Amino acid sequence: MDFAPEETHIALQAMARDFARQEIVPAAEEIDRQKSPEGRFPAALLEKGSRLGLRTLAVPEALGGGGADLLTLCTVGEEIGWGDLGLGATIAQNWCVSMALEKICPADKYEALARDFVGDHGAHLTRADLSAAPPPEMRMPYDGAGENIPASARQAEDGWSLSGFSSHVMNGEAARWTLVSIEGEDGRQAFLLEGGGARIVRRHDPMGMRSVEDVALAFEDVKVPGTSWIDCAPAAWVGIVPVFMVLPASAALGTARRAGEHATAHARERVQGGKPIIEHQSVGFMLADNLMEISAARRSLQAAAWAADSSAGVANGGEAEAVRESYLMRIFVSEACERIARRSMEVWGGAGYMTEAPMERFVRDMASFMHAGEMNYSLRARAMAML
C-alpha cells in the first residue's frame, strides 16, 4: 500500500489548510467563549466552506461533489480538525452520512438526495439511531427525564410511523436529511427523513467541541412517507461502519497535531535554567513522544481508510476485517490524541491550563471527542467479538 499524497490530495490539503488558518481558527475561539449552546453552530462559516467544496467532498463528481475517497477525506479532515475539532466533526458527519447513503440507498434515491444536497450550501446531514428508552444520562435531572417512548417502526397508511429516542445527535437541529435506523426482532430498519418531525428534548452543552450541534431527539409517532424506507441488506449496513470510525478520527488527529505544534513553539521560546526548555531532556522527550504518536496515529488512520476503500479489503471476508481494523484504529487514534493534548499542555507548565492559553481548549476538545459516539471500551468489546 502506498500512502504518498497525489496531486489532488496535495491541492485539497492546501485549500483546507488555508481555510482553517484564515477562517476557522478566529471563529472557533469566539464560539468557544459563548456561554449558551444555542447560537454556537457556525452556519455561515460552514456555508463558506461549502462554497469551496468541503461540505460535499464525499459526493461523487458525477453528482456535483468532490468525489473524494476515504483516504483523501482523511487528509482534508486532518486540516479542518487542525482549525477546530468541533467544526471538523461537523463536516465529517456530512461526509459520513453521505458515503453511508451511497452504500445503502438505491441509486435513484441517492442521486436525488445528492443533487439537492450539493445545490443547498446550508444543508446538512445527520444520523439518528432510535432506542427503546432514554439512555442513562437522559434519566438524570434533565428536561424530559421522566419520558419513556418505546422504539418502534410501524407501517401506517401511506407510510410509516417512527417512535423512540436518539441521544447526542450531531447536526441534529441543522440537518435537512436524517438517516434514521432502528434495530428490532426483524432486524434493522432504515429510513431517510427530510425535514423535521422529531422533538428536541435537550441541547447538550459539552465541555469541548463547542461548535458541534449536539441534541437529544424524541420521535413520537412521526409519520414518514413509504418512500423514506431504505431496503438495505445487513451486509451493506456493516460496510458503512468504517466510514463512521475513520472520518471523525481524522479531525481529532488534526487537533492533536496543532496542540503539539503549540507545545514545540512554546518550548523554543520559554527560557528556564538559562536555556530554552526544549533543550531540557524531560521536555524534549515529551515532544518526541508527541511526534511518535502523531506519526503512528496517522499511519493507523490511513491503513484503516485504505482497507475500507480498497476492493481487496472487502474480498474473502475482508469487509469484516476492515470493520474490526476501523474499531481498533478509532480506539488507538483517539487515545493517542488525548495523550498528545494533555502532554502538550504539560509542556506549558502551570500556564497551560489557564483559559488565556490555547492549550486547555485542546484538552477539553479531546475529552469531548473521547465521549462522542460509542465509548472505547465498547469498541474494544466489538473488536474482540470479531476475532
Q: What is the C-alpha to C-alpha distance for residues 185 and 183, in angstroms, rounded to an integer?
A: 7
| Same fold yes or no, 126-233 and 240-385 | no
Starting from the edge strand earliest in sequence, which strands make up the sheet with 229-230, in order? Answer: 125-129, 177-184, 187-194, 229-230
Question: Average pLDDT for residues 23-35, to the nearest whole number?
Answer: 94
In the chain, where the domains are located: 7-123, 126-233, 240-385
Strands (E), 137-246: 152-156, 159-170, 177-184, 187-194, 199-203, 214-225, 229-230
Q: CB within 8 A of 243, min separation 6: which ones? A: 70, 95, 96, 99, 100, 308
Q: What is the C-alpha to C-alpha distance for residues 188 and 180, in angstroms, rounded to an integer?
A: 10
Full-model pTM: 0.92
pLDDT band of residue 235 (cuts 50, 70, 90) is confident
- Residue-averaged pLDDT of the chain: 90
Bridge-partner residues for 275, per DSSP?
272
81-109 pLDDT, tens per residue?
999 999 999 999 999 999 999 999 999 99
Query: Is 93 strand, coil or helix?
Result: helix
Can you tell me which residue has the cell 513522544?
289
pLDDT of residue 312: 45
pLDDT of residue 1: 66
Q: What is the C-alpha to C-alpha distance for residues 176 and 224, in angstroms, rounded to an integer?
A: 14
Q: What is the C-alpha to C-alpha distance for residues 192 and 179, in angstroms, rounded to an integer?
A: 5
Look up the CATH number of domain 126-233.
Answer: 2.40.110.10
Does the domain at 240-385 match CATH 1.20.140.10? Answer given as: yes
Question: Average pLDDT for residues 12-39, to the nearest whole number?
Answer: 95
Q: Are 381 and 324 in contact (CB under 8 A)?
A: no
128-156 pLDDT, tens per residue?
998 765 555 444 455 554 556 778 889 88
CATH architecture of 7-123: Orthogonal Bundle (1.10)
